[in-house]
Amino acid sequence: MSGQIIDVNASLSRWPLRRLAWDEPAALVAELRGLGITQAWCGSFDALLHKDIEGVNARLAEACAASDGFLLPFGAVNPMLPDWEEDLRRCAELYQMPGIRLHPNYHGYTLEQPVLAEVLRQATARKLLVQLTVTLEDERMMHPLLRVPPVDCAPLPGVLTSIPDAQVLLLNAVRTVPRDLLRRLAVEHGVYCEIATVEGLGGVANLLEDVPLEQVLFGSHAPLFYPVAAVLKLKESALAEAQLAAVTMDNARRLLNPQ
């Protein structure tokens, strides 16, 4: 596979329940570079359970700054905590992040609650991309004391109707969000998804039958998933060169730099 690859779904720091390969930034960068990936958009696993979100975002920004542009930080915002607006402001103004990453299921709110719409409004006003994480871990791997269901995305079309300019990227959505809902979100509301949780033979090609090519991005979910798996999904789907370029690079670049 030729060309560049932008990975829109990676994470830094430690998964709270076990050590992972490549859970140190230098190791993750080396692994991704070895697979032909040229940039990775990163959140932080610390955002899931830590209450000091500013500390989480500061560490994320520092780690990404040390990567010479390879790692791009997406800070956390937890609207269930006080002063989340300040966390969002710092992501945009202090750390110059291109977007934020939300974890509604870990932070205890649903998409139909008004606070989600308010986060989207404020992020949109600041021209921030919003990554909404649908799930992180396969339910079969979850610790019995930390069982976290996937985010229910059914309310999202109604929310986005009132915020038409919002830029939303769903992470780890393909396995759990119904395909007809994914298509509706993409076609009617311009929502993007990525391929980390695509399953089955020809999975990426099958996804493109339902979701427009322009709304599909490359994501590895590293280091929780082995990043080589995402690369292999592209190879075994036998995509045309134009499709590969769109998924691996063009769509991500357009999303960060809208006309």
What confidence tens digit (pLDDT) does each residue in 213-226 have?
999 999 999 999 99
Enter the CATH code of domain 5-256: 3.20.20.140
Residue spans of the domains in the chain: they are: 5-256
As a dihedral over the C-alpha atoms of residue 7, residue 220, residue 27, residue 65, rounded to 10 degrees, the angle is 30
Q: What is the pLDDT of residue 86?
A: 98
Instruction: Taking the CA atoms of 39, 32, 227 and 247 in sequence, report the sign of the dihedral they define.
Output: positive
Q: What is the DSSP string of 104-128?
A: HHHHT--TTSHHHHHHHHHHHHTT-
Contacts of 216 (CB under 8 A, 6+ apart): 192, 193, 194, 195, 204, 207, 208, 246, 247, 251
| Model pLDDT, residue 142 | 76
Distance CA 8, CA 82 (A): 28
Q: pTM for this one?
A: 0.96
Report the relative pairing of strands 99-102 and 129-133 from DSSP bridges: parallel
**Backbone phi, then psi, for 164, in 5-degree steps?**
-65, -20
CB 218 within 8 A of CB 6: yes
pLDDT in tens, the chain (259 residues): 556 899 999 999 999 998 999 999 999 999 999 999 999 999 999 999 999 999 999 999 999 999 999 999 999 999 999 999 999 999 999 999 999 999 999 999 999 999 999 999 999 999 999 999 999 988 778 788 888 999 999 999 999 999 999 999 999 999 999 999 999 999 999 999 999 999 988 899 999 999 999 999 999 999 999 999 999 999 988 899 999 999 999 999 999 987 6
pLDDT at residue 198, rounded to an integer = 96
Give the span between the Cα atoms of 48 and 38, in whole angstroms: 26
Instruction: State how far the alpha carbon of 121 is from the alpha carbons of 99, 160, 170, 172, in Å.
Output: 13, 10, 17, 23
CA proximity to 100, closest of 56, 163, 164, 39: 56
Identify whether 223 is preceded by a cis peptide bond (ω within 30 of 0): yes
Tokens linked to 116: 């989600």
